[in-house]
């Protein structure tokens, strides 16, 4: 099934809007002092390969998405016609598996753990990129101290947070989303006061759907 890409900027900013699923990802401790710039470049390469592999494996066409680099992470905007349950039924475990495979072939300074935020809503765009309350809300969830503390206190490779809207409308209605693994928490970050739903995601060795393994390059010799 083909999907129309997230629209490109147009000459009429007032009309340049679209509804998207919004994914925010960042790397825990990217700026740690024990990491060199070379380490960070390898981590970034590993992140993009892991995300693209995971999207392709669960049936989300990477080429249909728009993404913006964040230095230590990535913002991904996904067309509204791609089913939202994919982002919580299979993507979290599949992405964690990809990260585990990457980490297995890299030294400590290049291993990564991720935070992921998922939301959906209207975005506005122009010749310079994207903006909108929905994107801001996603980043407030991604940067929430509660999410950072959850990952820091555990050995999991991925901690994810869902907006209250996404949990109420998507996660709790899906039989495969592991909805009981989420816990609700109050989040206050800058101007945002809201509720989010947080879960730790273990690597999944036995998948409900057969996932094709993809190799990620190790560090240079």
Note the pLDDT of residue 212: 40
Q: How many alpha carbons lie under 13 Å from residue 189 in its C-beta half-sphere?
A: 19
- Residue 35 banded pLDDT, cuts 50, 70, 90: very high
Give the pLDDT mean for 197-201. Answer: 96
Note the pLDDT of residue 57: 94
Nearest partner of 161 among 26, 67, 19, judged by Cα = 26
Model pLDDT for residues 109-149, shown as the tens digit of each residue: 999 999 999 999 999 888 888 899 999 999 999 999 999 99
Q: How many alpha carbons lie under 13 Å from residue 54 in its C-beta half-sphere?
A: 25
Give the pLDDT mean for 189-218. Answer: 67
What residues contact residue 74 under an 8 Å CB cut-off, 6+ apart?
Answer: 24, 25, 47, 48, 51, 67, 68
- Residue 12 banded pLDDT, cuts 50, 70, 90: low
Model pLDDT for residues 54-99, shown as the tens digit of each residue: 999 999 999 999 999 999 999 999 999 999 999 999 999 999 999 9
Looking at every residue in the chain, the average pLDDT score rounds to 87
Note the pLDDT of residue 210: 39
- Residue 46 banded pLDDT, cuts 50, 70, 90: very high
- Residue 10 banded pLDDT, cuts 50, 70, 90: low
Specify which of 121-130, 159-168, 193-202 reaches the highest per-range mean pLDDT.
Answer: 159-168
Task: Say if domain 16-201 classifies as CATH 3.30.70.1230.
Answer: yes
Residue ranges of domains in the chain: 16-201
Give the global pTM. Answer: 0.84
Whether the per-residue pLDDT at 8 is higher than 80: the answer is no
Give the tokens for residue 193. Answer: 């006061």
Cβ contact 98:214 at 8 Å? yes
């Amino acid at each position: 099934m083909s999907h129309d890409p997230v629209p490109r900027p147009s000459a009429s900013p007032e009309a340049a809007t679209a509804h998207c699923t919004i994914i925010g990802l960042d790397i825990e401790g990217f700026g740690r002092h024990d990491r060199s710039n070379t380490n960070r470049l390898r981590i970034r390469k590993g992140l993009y390969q892991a995300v693209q592999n995971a999207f392709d494996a669960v049936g989300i066409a990477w080429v249909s998405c728009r993404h913006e680099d964040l230095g230590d992470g990535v913002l991904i905007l996904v067309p509204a016609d791609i089913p939202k349950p994919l982002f919580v039924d299979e993507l979290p475990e599949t992405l964690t598996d990809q990260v585990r495979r990457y980490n297995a072939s890299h030294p400590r300074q290049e291993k990564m753990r991720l935070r992921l935020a998922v939301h959906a809503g209207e975005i506005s765009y122009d010749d310079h990129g994207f903006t909108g309350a929905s994107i801001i809300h996603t980043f407030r969830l991604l940067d929430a101290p509660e999410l950072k503390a959850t990952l820091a206190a555990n050995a999991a490779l991925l901690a994810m947070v869902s907006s209250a809207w996404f949990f109420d409308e998507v996660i709790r209605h899906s039989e495969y989303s592991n909805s009981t693994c989420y816990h609700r928490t109050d989040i206050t970050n800058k101007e945002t006061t809201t509720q989010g739903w947080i879960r730790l995601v273990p690597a999944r060795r036995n998948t409900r759907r057969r996932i094709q393994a993809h190799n990620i390059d190790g560090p240079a010799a």
